[in-house]
Amino acid sequence: MTANKDSQAVHELDRTDIESYTIGGGTVYERFFDCPLDYSSPESSQRIRVFVRHVVPLGKETKVHELPFLLYLQGGPGYECSLPGSVKGGWHAKAIEEGYQILLIDQRGTGLSSPINADTLDAKFQTTAEKVQYASHFRADNIVRDCEHVRKILCAGRTGEASQKLALLGQSFGGFCIVTYLSLFPDSISKAFITGGIPPLIDSPDAVYKATYQRMISRNKQYYEKYPRDIARVRAVIEHLNQNRVTLPDGGNLSPRRFQQLGLAFGFTGGFDQVHQLVLRASNDIDTMDKLSARTLAGIADMHSFDTNPLYCILHEAIYCQNGKPSMWSAHRVREECFAAEFEHSWDKILTRSDPGMPVYFTGEAVYPWMLEDYAQLRRLKDVGAGLAEYSSWGPLYDKSVLAKNTVPVAGVSYYNDMFVDFNLSEQTAKNIKGFRQWVTNEYHHNGLRADPRVMTYLVDLLRGDMTDL
């Protein structure tokens, strides 16, 4: 059931109609909150429903009014927050050790929080303009306002300023949301931890892609150094896909440029090995059958989630847009203007290179207009995606003047070789947030928080002042 005006006579934490169950180390309460679509018109009839999993350490269920909250903001944009099988390990265990109860929020538009996809938009609206306007409300600024709305409900009745605040943990895009939270509601935050997600304080994504394409070139070189025989294998696959129309099991197109998107995995631990196995299988299929097997096609399709999490495509570039600047398919423009030769997908053009035998490079975390044709579910959002790329009414996401006077304890880790969030841009932002304690390391890729519980422990110690090797 949704927290609403009628249920407020009973505190949200005392409701008996909330579904609950146990996982390893915790009791989970599934809570829904009624939120405005547009916080500038909070009384409007346009509402959304935001879902939060509330995890309380086992044995401390009677202390929900006392334990401080740690709110986790998932990476993305466009991804829901998954339920852990246990909170006895990873960053969850460290949070519980520090005395927190945990809030796992499905950010608006994802998971169970009024998800956006072709079906839900078609059910609500008739025109593309209406759909674009609706989707424009699903960025970090309103995600943060949802969190603030939830905080006020859950912390109602608490005495003492400190007990009414949230601690925040943000991974990747979740870190972007934290910097927005620090800009809009700094007095609501007790402390914040950012992992691989210190955002660039820019108005347009062009600078991001100019940096990350360079990083992707380096990752491709490292990949082919590890798997030199994949140079010929990838070329064979690209030639095959140029000469044959290949349909994936879900009806999507496996074009050469979509195959190149397997490089998205290069940003994660083990990503090289994942891609190599698919390349090896695809090359073997072509050698033995002159086509790609159903198993190979399914494996390639499973590597991406743009169809199931469409906001990751249609709102991806908008997470960087501020002050009326449209994205205008930034990654596509930057690629064509600056990196077309390095990431060429046309076999005819590949053959005209000065060195026609050079490797075909994979692309990374970037979205392109052609994705709205090659991905089956995104086809139905083609006009919406185009409308959002041209949208020019984006408001501010960050307040540099507030960040410059920040008093909230903040610690963050920047991964030096991060393929998704450029280190140099992150470092500039860290310098603009007063008191920011930054840990720089090359030990991890973008998924360091998930890969090693030490990451959370280090940040907690860093904020506490226990770390001196900066």
Query: Active-site residues: which are they?
Result: 172, 418, 446
Q: Map tokens 């994705």 to a residue.
A: 371
| Residue 245 C-alpha from the chain's centroid | 31
Where residue 109 falls (left for φ over 0; alpha for ψ -120 to 50; beta otherwise) is: left
| Residue 20 C-alpha from the chain's centroid | 27
237, 287 Cβ separation under 8 angstroms: no
Query: What is d(CA 188, CA 146) in angstroms, rounded to the nearest whole number?
Result: 13
**Sign of the C-alpha dihedral, residues 395, 401, 405, 409?**
positive
260, 343 Cβ separation under 8 angstroms: yes
Query: What is d(CA 459, CA 167) in angstroms, rounded to the nearest whole number?
Result: 13
Write the secondary structure of 135-196 as one string of H (helix), E (strand) and C (coil).
HCCCCHHHHHHHHHHHHHHHCCCCCCCHHHCEEEEEECHHHHHHHHHHHHCHHHEEEEEEEC
Query: What is d(CA 164, CA 155) in angstroms, rounded to the nearest whole number?
Result: 5
Tokens of 274: 């994942």
23 bridge partner residues: 26
In three-state secondary structure terms, 308 is coil
Which letter, b or e, does each residue of 197-236 get, where b requires 16 or more Cβ atoms within 10 Å of its Cβ? bbbbbbbbbbbbbebbbebbeebbeebbeebeebeebbbb
Q: Count the helix, strand and coil residues of the chain and give each as a percent rounded to the nearest 5.
A: 45, 15, 40
In three-state secondary structure terms, 50 is strand
Tokens of 79: 């991804």
Query: What is d(CA 218, CA 359) in angstroms, rounded to the nearest whole number?
Result: 13
- Phi and psi torsions of 384, nearest 5°: -65, -45
Neighbours of 441 (CB within 10 A): 13
In three-state secondary structure terms, 269 is coil
Query: What is d(CA 462, CA 411) in angstroms, rounded to the nearest whole number?
Result: 7
- Phi and psi torsions of 453, nearest 5°: -60, -15
